[in-house]
Amino acid sequence: MRIEDVKEQDFLGHVKFDANGLIPAIIQDAGSSQVLMLAYMNEEALRRSLASGRTWFFSRSRQRLWLKGETSGNSQEIEEIFYDCDADTLLVKVRQEGVACHEGNFSCFHYPLEDQPKPDYGRIVDTLFAVIKERQAGRPEGSYTASLFSAGLDKILKKIGEEAAEVIIAAKGGQREEVVYEAGDLAYHLLVLLAEQGLGPEDVRQELARRRK
């Protein structure tokens, strides 16, 4: 059914959450039918998804809710949502803004089983920066990245300060996964700042190369 036709209580009354209060959600591109990702929702994430029309999930590793595109700008607008015949799995058809995968690919499912290629991590920063530049130029509605550029330099600098503090807190707590997650947020906001200043990753690479003894 289309998201605008969903009655929250009726829908929640049909689906079955597991023993941990979660239900898997398969995210599919509404236009091409390509499967984009698999994530989990708890009841609150599903409520927020139904209310906002954007995908919310529950992170099992961080034990908290998260909005898709909250920091990357790669948001998902829900067009249709279904549950399967056992009512224990969701299929969510979305309009994907940007890419779904944190590695910079449109879909998380981009590794064929027979090849098992290693991800080209060296290109991730450049791929992400290209998306950031697109958001800067186009300022699409609903894009978190575009909203940062529209808010201006002070907002971007404030976010960098906040994310740097989050990295410090995570490191002091000795939480390795949390350090990686927060460092990713910090790196993303630094890339936004570079774009705002008319710079890019290549400028930083050149500076690091200059410092090499």
The residue that leads in pLDDT, 142 or 28, is 28
Q: What is the pLDDT of residue 73?
A: 85
Q: Domain residue spans in the chain?
A: 1-119, 120-213
CA distances from 11 to 4, 14, 72 (A): 12, 5, 29
Q: Which two tokens stand for residue 75?
A: 């948001």
120-213 belongs to CATH 1.10.3720.10:
no
| Percent of residues, the chain, with pLDDT higher than 70 | 91
How many other CB atoms sit within 10 Å of the CB of residue 72?
22
Q: What is the pLDDT of residue 10?
A: 65
| Residue 9 pLDDT greater than 80, yes or no | no
Q: What is the mean pLDDT of residues 57-62?
A: 93
- Of the pLDDT bands very low, low, confident and very high (cuts 50, 70, 90), residue 1 is very low
Spell 109-143 as b/e; 16+ CB within 10 A means b. Answer: eeeeeeeeeeeeeeeebeebbebbebbbeeeeeeb
How many other CB atoms sit within 10 Å of the CB of residue 208?
9
CA distances from 61 to 53, 58, 148 (A): 24, 9, 27
State the average pLDDT for the chain. 89
Pairwise CA distance, residues 17 & 191, whole Å = 38
- Given a contact cutoff of 8 angstroms between Cβ atoms, the answer to whether 71 and 148 are in contact is no
Of 34-43, 111-120, 155-164, 188-197, give the lowest mean pLDDT range: 111-120
What confidence tens digit (pLDDT) does each residue in 125-172 have? 888 999 999 999 999 988 999 999 999 999 999 999 999 999 999 999
Q: What is the pLDDT of residue 154?
A: 97
| Residue 15 pLDDT greater than 50, yes or no | yes
Q: What is the pLDDT of residue 175?
A: 80
> What would the CATH number be for the domain defined by 1-119?
3.10.20.810
